[in-house]
Amino acid sequence: MDHARLAELQSPDSIFSGLSVEDWAEITRRAVQVNFAKGKELLVQGDPGDMMLILTEGTARVSMLTAGGREIVLAYAEPGAVLGEIALLDGGERTASVTATSAGSALQLGRNALRDFAASHPDFAWSLMQQLARRLRTADQTIESDRAYASGPRLARYLKRLIRKDVGVAQRVELSQTELGNFAGMSREHINRQLKSWEESGIIALEQGRVRVLEPEILEDISESEG
């Protein structure tokens, strides 16, 4: 992929948003190109974040495993996507895995290479700080928004986020009630009471501890109601 195309594909929330074609040429020189086959695990949840990837060809699935071993798909990545940058920057473990859904290639950029690029490009370093500050602000606003909702609407919002759509069947959340409570910040007892109430109203069905949404439109209304 040429440098101009890489620059063009960066979304506004990419840490590389706003870089010039010349900047991308330098990043490419500092990176290593890796090719991968469909099904290859490119990044693994729990691994140390010593490098990041910039997808140049192909597609990938970003997902995480819950404590109960269930996979939750967070996003699908396409060419231009920047993957694994947070763990690279903070030195922590990866919070999600990335698996190739087609054959492709990526630029692999190590921590030292990114540090050297930032040191020689002060404008990029400042832009990076601004980008991380925006992400922190968004996270804070999300937390405050969730706190502002009563438990019912808050739980409905989390159900909406976690719903997995399967062809030909009703919408299902493949999480236990305990795991769902962990995501929504609610106790198991509180979760049980709310879900039982919705089950009695015909909004959901509980099947072996799993949640099946029967009336997604009603759930949508609940999620948007005031707390």
SS3 sequence of 176-204: CHHHHHHHHCCCHHHHHHHHHHHHHCCCE
Pinpoint the residues of the chain covered by CATH 2.60.120.10: 3-134
Residue type at 71 in one-letter notation: E
For helices 216-223 and 151-162, the axis angle rounded to 10 degrees is 130
Residue type at 211 in one-letter notation: V
Q: Is the pLDDT of residue 148 over 70?
A: no
> What whole-number distance in Å separates Cα of residue 54 and Cα of residue 14?
11
Q: In 108-225, which residue ranges form alpha helices assigned H by DSSP? A: 111-120, 122-148, 151-162, 177-184, 188-200, 216-223
Q: Is the pLDDT of residue 47 over 50?
A: yes
pLDDT band at 225 (very low <50, low <70, confident <90, very high): low
pTM: 0.64
Starting from the edge strand earliest in sequence, which strands make up the sheet with 41-43, in order? Answer: 41-43, 97-100, 60-65, 71-77
Q: Does domain 147-224 have CATH number 1.10.10.10?
A: yes
E strand or H helix at 205, and its extent? Answer: strand 204-207
Q: Is the pLDDT of residue 220 over 60?
A: yes
Among residues of the chain, what percentage have pLDDT more than 90? 41
Q: Which of 102-111, 180-189, 207-216 has the lowest mean pLDDT?
A: 180-189
Q: Is the pLDDT of residue 69 over 80?
A: no
pLDDT band at 168 (very low <50, low <70, confident <90, very high): very low
Q: Is the pLDDT of residue 165 over 60?
A: no
Pinpoint the residues of the chain covered by CATH 1.10.10.10: 147-224
E strand or H helix at 29, and its extent? Answer: helix 21-30
CATH superfamily of 3-134: Jelly Rolls (2.60.120.10)
Q: Which of 9-13, 51-55, 81-85, 143-147 has the lowest mean pLDDT?
A: 143-147
Tokens (6 digits) for 107: 């630029």
Residues 142-169 have a mean pLDDT of: 63
